[in-house]
Amino acid sequence: MADKETAIETVWKVLDEEADYVVELTQDIVRIPSVNPRFVTDAEQNREAAVQDRLQQETEALGFTSDRWEVFPDRPNIVANLPGDEDKSLILCGHVDVVPIGERTEWTVEPFGGEISNGKLYGRGAVDMKSGVAACIAAARAVRKAGIDLQGRLSIHTVVDEEAGGFGAMDAVAKGKLAKAAIVAEPTWGDVIPSEGGLFWTRVTIKGRQGHAGLRFNEVWPQRDLPGRTLPGVNAVELSTRFLAAMREFESIRCRTSYHPLVPPGLNTINPGVIRGGAGLGEDGLPIILTNPAIIPDVVVIDLDYKFLPNEDPAEVKKEFESFVHHFCQQDRWLREHPITVDWDYSGLYFPPMDTDANHPVIQSLVNRKTELGKAPVIKGFEAVTDAAHYAGAGVASVIFGPSGDGFHGYDEYVDLASLQETTKTIAAAIIDWCDVR
């Protein structure tokens, strides 16, 4: 333990003496626009590869070996490694893509300028999460400059596409780029976050029977069912309104009857985010005709943002919802014969739940070292989802910890520089605590 304490003291001294490094690296990569091309297609803004070039230069200068590959065209992941024992291996992770700037006139600073004012560094991605990426590299750099020989393997993962579903981290995990533990340096305002709920994007398809709207009376008003009667239409939009009302009650029940101590009560919501109704079902799984109200619509597609708690089993979550859908259909003569379908995989987007034990040594290190540097952090759960989920789903003990700021996914985004310095020191200490020294 004495060796660790001495090592941490030495590394913190390096960080104090070279405090500008993490700030300047953050500025450098904020000034390289890396808007996720799923949101805006513009060669001048879609420069994830250029950010990765800059980061690869930094890590290789520190003696890391780099594994670089394209997840999508011109959108590379980088995994940088310092060799060491696997039992004490650690990943430091961050994403390099950012969301669009929105209305330029709403910004009071240059969105990709990296301007510093009143202890804040401004720019898109400043807090979400290029400063966190810079903190990881600066922490590793300080360990190297202090001459510390780590026992465990240290990896730095800089990944693409987090803002659109985490497919960069998913690809890294699929390629076996794992470790025993991981710190994802998303902004947490100095708190330590070992838990986040899981998330499915789920598609529900409701089918009716197409007809002419002029014959709607044949559907909604009692008719003599005589030979030759025109088959009545079945309005899928109206079926969907009943389904949504029932699902709202189902959501309320599941939110009231499940609990996790670190996340807000009722976090496990089911958000009907996109609804499309019309006539005919296309090969893409969506209605073909969306603009003709003279047709009784025969298909409605509802895309759900389906959250569940950190301590819920994904298989049981699926089973529970499918049971609800089945029983709903059994109450309707049409739906008994033409049941609603549920597609859990239509988008490929899935975030496993993360529920790392709060007593895990990496979490305790972050708590203790952050406390030594200032205010004691809160151990809490995360309301949204991050790339930490993908590592957790592969068995990596994962935690989220990063700096403070504001304006993420909004205007005048910034990172607080004092919190950035403190975050870098805390991560550096956690590297030594977990990876150990030889």
Q: What is the pLDDT of residues 206-238, one digit of tens each?
A: 999 999 999 999 888 888 888 888 899 999 999
The label of the residue with tokens 């957790």 reads 392
- Summarised one tens digit per residue, pLDDT across range 49-81 is 999 999 999 999 999 999 999 999 999 999 999
Instruction: Look at residue 229 in the predicted model and tell me its pLDDT.
Output: 86
Q: Which of 161, 162, 355, 413 is catalytic?
A: 162
Can you tell me the mean pLDDT for 354-370?
98
Q: Count the neighbouring beta carbons within 10 Å of the beta carbon of residue 360.
A: 16
d(CA 353, CA 388): 9
The pLDDT tens digits of the residues spanning 285-331 come to 999 999 999 999 999 999 999 999 999 999 999 999 999 999 999 99
Beta bridge partners of 306: 200, 270
pLDDT at residue 401 greater than cutoff 60: yes
Average pLDDT on 422-428 reads 98
Average pLDDT for residues 397-425, to the nearest whole number?
A: 97
3-state secondary structure 78-129: EEEEECCEEEEEEEEEEECCECCCCCHHHCCCCCCCCCEECCEEECCCHHHH
Q: Mean pLDDT for the chain?
A: 97
What local confidence, expressed as pLDDT, does residue 349 receive? 94
pLDDT in tens, 315-324: 999 999 999 9
Residue 352, pLDDT above cutoff 60: yes
Of the CA atoms within 13 Å of residue 324, those in its CB half-sphere come to 21
* Side-chain half-sphere CA neighbours of 30 within 13 A: 33
Neighbouring residues of 76: CB distance < 8 A, sequence distance ≥ 6 = 48, 49, 52, 68, 69, 70, 160
Task: State the pLDDT confidence band at 1, using cuts at 50, 70 and 90.
Answer: very low
- Average pLDDT over every residue of 132-142: 98
How many whole angstroms separate alpha carbon 89 and alpha carbon 398?
Answer: 12
Q: Which of 48, 58, 97, 436 is catalytic?
A: 97
Whether the per-residue pLDDT at 149 is higher than 80: the answer is yes
User: Residue 226 has what pLDDT?
Assistant: 86
- Total residue length of the chain: 438
In tens, the pLDDT along 152-192 reads 999 999 999 999 999 999 999 999 999 999 999 999 999 99
Task: Name the percent of the chain in helix, strand, coil, to the closest 5.
Answer: 35, 25, 35
| pTM score | 0.94
Residue 145: what are its φ and ψ, rounded to 5°?
-65, -25
The SS3 of residue 326 is: helix
97 part of the active site: yes
Task: Measure CA of the first residue to CA of the last residue in the chain; give whole Å.
Answer: 12
Asked if the model's pLDDT at residue 2 lies above 90, the reply is no
Nearest to 4 by CA among 138, 194, 146: 146
The DSSP secondary-structure symbol of 277 reads E
